[in-house]
Chain A
Amino acid sequence: MSGITKEQVEHVADLARLNLSDEEAEKYTIQLNDILTFFEKLKDVDTTNVEPTSHVMPIYNVMREDENRPSVKREEALKNAPDHDEGHFKVPAVMEE
């Protein structure tokens, strides 16, 4: 574990699909450094041979019968979309002309 640089903050923001202003990048670098330094407490804990817990309940592979059943109607699925066209979600062009 080590401190996070402004370049790393900008890289992480890019991975998370966030734009940061220069001022925001500066502010988050300071705050994330504080928080990550605090996280270093965990280095004190001996976790040799300790299994990670991802879920507190012993629930695995919950399956249902593979049967047809009613689903959301297309017009309902599109109802909250910012833009749609002919039954499809519409997004800005992906391919260049």
Chain B
Amino acid sequence: MSIFDKKITELHNALEQKQVSVSELIDASFQRIKQTDDQLKAFLTLNEEQAKQKAKQLDEQGSLQGERGLLFGLPIAVKDNIVTEHVTTTAGSKMLENYDPIYNATVMDRICASESILIGKTNMDEFGMGGSTENSAFQVTVNPWNKEYVPGGSSGGSAAAVAARQAFFALGSDTGGSIRQPAAYCGVVGLKPTYGLVSRFGLISYASSLDTIGPITKNVEDAAYLLSVLAAHDPYDSTSADVDVPDYISALNGNVKGLKVGVPKELLGEGVDQEIKDKIQQALKTLEGMGAIVEEVSLPHTEYAVPTYYILGPSEASSNLARYDGVRFGMRSESGNDLIQMYKETRSQGFGAEVKRRIMLGTYALSSGYYDAYYKKAQQVRTLIKQDFDELFANYDVLIGPTTPTTAYKIGEKVADPLKMYLNDICTAPVNLAGIPAISVPCGLTNDGLPVGLQIMGKHFDESTVLRVAHAFEQQTDHHSARPQL
């Protein structure tokens, strides 16, 4: 087994028994990135010098924190919309091409305290807007399973890096499915936590009421480790929930006997590829075989989730992205003789087509005369979507369906048709609107050799059950062991 296929616990043991040093792990990661990233284009920035320096320190001094951190000495890749002190952070946008943050996001402080080492920042759709990583201002990341296909988005760089074993694990962010969808397309595990469980302080905002940060990993156990590091109340984030964080690792007991699984029929309806439906049915049979009780249920407002999401997300984005005006940070256009023209030239040159489209959608939805018809209506439908989930979770422990209606599609196939791209979020967006946790785990490959993702959704703050079911499924199958050949 390659060192890149090892789990966090196995890497801990290898470090403990001095079979490998931290510096060797870091060197191996950079070597792998240099061998493969010309093809993949998963990384925007490498943090090589600092990473090697920190590795050397850890090798020489042992733990820098007294007791070894949970991710001691292990390399991590981080999506480029999470700010990293003195490591360029672009959010995939020309607007922030040279942005050098003066502080760390709270999650990065927690990653550093766990003694994990940042190896680089990964490519993404600009400001998290897109489902293919084709909307990055800098490069198009490809799917490691087939380089003609997209890796999904917007955390496509992080998912591709983990799938290609360039990184042992990574961070992504998820506003309408941006962790789970690329995880499904790339055949890795992606966890979107409950809204508020992980601090958003230092996450470059897209839609503040929907954005979450979460792990992208090779297996469920690693996701539990990473979540244990990330989850905590943060006084710097007013939306951070002050709740007890359970022991996610001990929750992975493999037991799903008697557990009630609801399968929303709307997530397996028209528009979902037959091969995907078949893989999901097989997965449900596996869980039934382990003693879970599987029943068909209904989320009646599912068909309204995509329009609701694409009104609320852009509305919040139009407000959040107003800060990019060329005054305090980011690029400034050289043209524009007065202040207003400078704003306009800067924003027109700095933002890409998808970002402009969403800013205009949001500005329109919030404008006088349209507010009630679009924004208020979408907020009301969001209430109904959340109620659908609440009602089911009164009787079911988890809900299960596909992560995406199709597998990865070809680069360039949908980029000119935004609505077609938006419809791909049908299985993931309802989860963000309700604020619940959900994980995508690999559940097989199609005949074309592309990965399929199984989505497991849970109650607010019940990541333990979501992880337990995902882990039990993973133990019973071998889908997560499949890896792309590069």
Contacts and interface: CB of A to CB of B under 8 A. Distances in A.
Interface string B318-350: 100010011111111000111111111101100
B382 interface: yes
Nearest to B237: A62
B211 to A, nearest CB: 12
A32 B419 CA distance: 9
Q: How large is the interface on A (under 10, 10 to 19, 20 to 34, 35 or more residues)?
A: 35 or more
User: What is the predominant secondary structure among interface residues of chain A facing chain B?
Assistant: loop
A7 to B, nearest CB: 13
Nearest to B99: A80
Interface string B370-387: 100110111111111010
Contacts of B307: 38-39, 41-42
A54 B209 contact: yes
B4 interface: no
Given A12-B364, A52-B379, A38 B195 contact: no
Given A53-B379, A56-B435, A12 B418 contact: no
Interface in A7-32: 8-9, 12-13, 15-20, 28, 31-32
B476 interface: no
A94 to B, nearest CB: 5
Interface in A64-83: 64, 72, 76-77, 79-83
B67 to A, nearest CB: 28
Interface stretch (B123-131, B155-163, B213-221, B355-363): B355-363
A13 B345 CA distance: 12
Contacts of A18: 344, 347-348, 351, 356, 359-360
A35 B332 CA distance: 31
Contacts of B336: 92
A15 B339 contact: no
A38 B419 contact: yes
Interface residues of B, number: 70
B422 A52 contact: no
Contacts of A20: 348
Contact of B345 (A19, A28, A77): A19
Interface string A33-55: 01110110110110100111111
B304 interface: yes
B342 A47 contact: no
Given A28-B357, A52-B376, A16 B363 contact: yes
Contact of B361 (A35, A55, A56, A92): A35
13 contacts: A15-B363, A16-B318, A18-B356, A35-B422, A38-B306, A42-B308, A42-B311, A47-B380, A54-B379, A82-B327, A82-B332, A92-B337, A93-B338
Interface of B: 99-100, 102-103, 195-196, 209, 235, 238-239, 241, 301, 303-304, 306-308, 310-311, 318, 322, 325-332, 336-345, 347-348, 351, 356-357, 359-361, 363-364, 367, 370, 373-374, 376-384, 386, 418-419, 422, 433-435, 460
Interface of A: 1, 4, 8-9, 12-13, 15-20, 28, 31-32, 34-36, 38-39, 41-42, 44-45, 47, 50-57, 59, 62, 64, 72, 76-77, 79-83, 89, 91-94
